[in-house]
Structure 1
């Protein structure tokens, strides 16, 4: 082997040893930044149709209206967290679906009030349990709540948290929807004003 060939090989190996980690780190950091920046209400409400959801969220304890100022981001509750691949796939497909829905909104207006009945399809219990993990062993002054939570954690109740806590995360959502969309009227609403 000549020295020139060895020098080229050495330079190539050093370049690979430096470039590959830099490219990987840049890709990782870029992906993390993209995921983080597209998880908050500011991004989610860039679509006109999501504004009432964000306003209702801001008024709720989960939107930061609490003593600690803790905020649950949109994706904390509305995307699965059972693995990175599943999370990213759901994030991408949800994003595409929402973009298409926004684009066709002038021609096809969803019935948001009826959609609230299907809330368990797009709210994941992981979001609740990541903050309320101690609830499994908690005691309560309310015997009904204690029994319901024991049944939930015991697997005796197959429904998600939002089956009982229907307005969680979005205080006064029904009122916000009515204020925001002309096609949603209070006369279509079930009993109650949307308060938690």
Structure 2
């Protein structure tokens, strides 16, 4: 009885603002349950399974997402619906959940309840997403991708050049990566609107991280070493060809001398006049090519690409840096063979691929000059 009286005394003791300790404990328990329930509800509506519980999402954008680089890739890191479309910061997440009430409203109206209706409104919905991502400097992309941790040594030449260009000029992820997980509806935009959507925002510009600069230096050193090794190999091949050619010429000269010795003076005079001309022609403009470095390039099949094509962002991902002064070789010098393969297979810039078409022809080029002429 004494213990019950003590407990009752504690629970009925007023602790603050006239509230008893018992009431405070009760309200605290209710608060914990409400807060826990609220957060549980937030997390339940923040999963890919919840997103595709509506057939509008499951049969349209989710079907397009399946098989994309964000769904499955070599590293096994998957970005699901909320990773890209729901902010992680709590305040921004709450705002996004409130905005989602508009989607519930249109769900009830049946605004996009068929594939035909969905496609009719697709570009409008895509614009909203692009605008949101542009305004936040692609905040949700940075849940996984970060300028500071990018390693240019593991990127293709065009990727590392465009990433550096983006950092320096204030471009953001969505400027170049529209349509990476869903239908590329940005190709339905006019070039003027697409250029406006992809325009740089000076406030988004940032200093290129030192780690990125160091990575570029390592890549350059590696590529320069490979180029020197290739040039040395080419030099040895030229020396071998020169030695073989000289040996062949000596064999011919010996055979000619033997023939002249038996043919008589008249034949010797005629042959002697013809031999220097033949030798001069064989040497190629009289240039000693053994001292000229070789440049190996691949002449690739360009498909339906053209100079006009390179300036259109919906077709050419490098249109922005190209218009700003980059040359084709800045991004593509080391991948021309792969580009030709894309063309002949119809993967890029070729709507009518020719079966068996050769993607490219490797060519070795040498150059020399004198006071008047350039020789190739």
Tell me which of 100, 107, 110 is aligned to 2:105. Answer: 100
Change beyond 3 A, Cα 1:100–1:56: same
CA contact (8 A) 1:76 1:127 kept: yes
Offset from partner CA, 1:132-151 (integer Å, 9 cap, x none): 22565421443332232223
Q: Which runs of 5+ in 1 are unaligned?
A: 176-189
Q: Which runs of 5+ in 2 are unaligned?
A: 186-313, 316-345, 348-376
Answer yes or no: is 1:146 the counterpart of 2:150: no
**Corresponding residue for residue 13 of structure 2:** 9
Structure whose CA Rg is larger: 2
Cα offset for 1:61? 3.2
CA contact (8 A) 2:112 2:121 kept: no
Tell me which of 66, 70, 88 is aligned to 2:94. Answer: 88
How many residue pairs get aligned? The number is: 169
Cα offset for 1:116? 6.8
**Corresponding residue for residue 55 of structure 2:** 48
Tell me how far apart the structure 2 counterparts of residues 106 and 112 of structure 1 sit (CA, whole Å): 9
Change beyond 3 A, Cα 1:131–1:116: same
Tell me which of 36, 41, 57 is aligned to 1:29. Answer: 36
CA RMSD of aligned residues (A): 3.6
Aligned runs of 1:53-64 on 2, under 5 Å? 53-63=61-71
Q: TM-score, normalised by structure 1?
A: 0.66
Which fold has the larger relative contact order, with Cα–Cα distance below 8 Å and residues 6 or more apart in sequence? Answer: 1
Aligned runs of 1:114-153 on 2, under 5 Å? 114-115=123-124, 118=127, 119-123=129-133, 125-133=138-146, 137-140=150-153, 141-153=155-167
Pick the structure with more strand per residue.
2
Tell me how far apart the structure 1 counterparts of residues 48 and 124 of structure 2 sit (CA, whole Å): 20
Offset from partner CA, 1:8-53 (integer Å, 9 cap, x none): 2269644245334322322232122111111222222222221221
Q: TM-score, normalised by structure 2?
A: 0.38
Change beyond 3 A, Cα 1:115–1:137: same
